[in-house]
Amino acid sequence: MTPGVTVHVVPDAPALADAAAEWLAQRIARTPALTVLVATGQTPMGMYAQLAERVRAGTLDCSGVTAVQLDEYAGLPEGDPRSLRAWMLRSFVTPLGVQTVVPLLDPAAFTGRLAALGGLDVAVLGLGPNGHVGFNEPPSGPDAPTREVALTPESLRSNAAYWSGLTVPTRAVTAGMDVILGARETLLLVSGAHKCAILSEALDGPETPLVPASFLRRTALTVLADRDARP
């Protein structure tokens, strides 16, 4: 395995949520003003719920954390329920009592604000079924900047599951591979048998823009996978 990469396999999704929450809680305890890139999608939801539980119990204080938005659909009207910003606010920012948010709307403003913050301490990521991270769709190389992208048919299909009855936006803005790979530490969460083949490509195959997640091995990467995703 590549130096800097640690893979932990846990039995199931609840164990993944526990381990991931513990991983981030330790870092927030050490660095209360942690700057965290926050994925939405299904995989980290159990983790965020566990963190919220700790905040409610008074054992974790996230008020100094800065939440940085990872991606957003393009062209949605203000307040649209599909907005990933709204999803991040209801799953992470509000329940954890986070006070500072860096939204992703305009790539130039986002990049400038991140630079002023001194970059990311931590990136929390899910793995797309096509190997995307954020909405860095294949092909995306390690220098791909924060930008607007067209979503691939595969992403449109998997996103449709989140928005029953609503049309899925076809374009998005994503934090670039350059931003993601610049994080001082990365946590990649992977759950389910449908992610098994792509996780193996990302960890065991060649580094390639066809599997953008394969470049995460260049970072200080912790992979938390359940047994279905990493038998």
Supply the residues annotated as catalytic: 71, 130, 132, 137
38 touches 68 (CB < 8 A): yes
CB 180 within 8 A of CB 186: yes
Q: At what angle do helices 13-30 and 45-57 cross, to 10 degrees?
A: 50
CB neighbours (10 Å) of residue 27?
Answer: 18
Span near ligand F6R by CB under 6 A; candidates 33-41, 114-122, 146-154, 205-213: 33-41
Taking the complex as a whole, the smallest distance from the CB of residue 149 to ligand F6R amounts, in Å, to 11
For residues 185 and 87, give the distance between their C-alpha atoms in angstroms, rounded to a whole number.
23
3-state percent helix, strand, coil for the chain, nearest multiple of 5: 40, 20, 40
Size, binding site for ligand F6R by CB under 6 A: 15
Write each residue from 77 to 116 as x if it is in contact with ligand F6R (CB under 6 A), else as -, in one continuous string: -------x--------------------------------
| Stretch touching ligand F6R by CB under 6 A, among 25-33, 53-61, 120-128, 214-222 | 120-128
Instruction: Determine if the peptide bond prior to 139 is cis (ω within 30°).
Output: yes
Q: Under a CB-based contact definition with an 8 Å cutoff, are residues 76 and 169 in contact?
A: yes
Of 132, 140, 179, 212, the one binding ligand F6R (CB under 6 A) is 132
Task: State in angstroms the smallest separation of the CB of 189 from ligand F6R.
Answer: 7
Q: Which stretch binds ligand F6R (CB under 6 A): 46-54, 59-67, 122-130, 138-146?
A: 122-130
| Residue at shortest CB range from ligand F6R | 126
Question: In angstroms, what is the minimal distance from the CB of 87 to ligand F6R?
Answer: 8
**Which of 154/207 has CB closer to ligand F6R?**
154
Q: Does 46 bind ligand F6R (CB under 6 A)?
A: no
Distances from the Cα of 68 to the Cαs of 105, 152, 182, in angstroms?
Answer: 12, 24, 13
Among 136, 95, 112, smallest CA distance to 103 is for 112
Cβ 53 to ligand F6R, closest distance in Å?
Answer: 20
CA distance 7 to 199: 11
Q: Does 41 bind ligand F6R (CB under 6 A)?
A: yes
37 binds ligand F6R (CB under 6 A): no
Taking every pair of Cα atoms in the chain, the longest distance, rounded to a whole number of angstroms, is 45
Q: Which of 60/88 has CB closer to ligand F6R?
A: 88
Residues that bind ligand F6R (CB under 6 A): 39-43, 70-71, 84, 126-128, 132-135
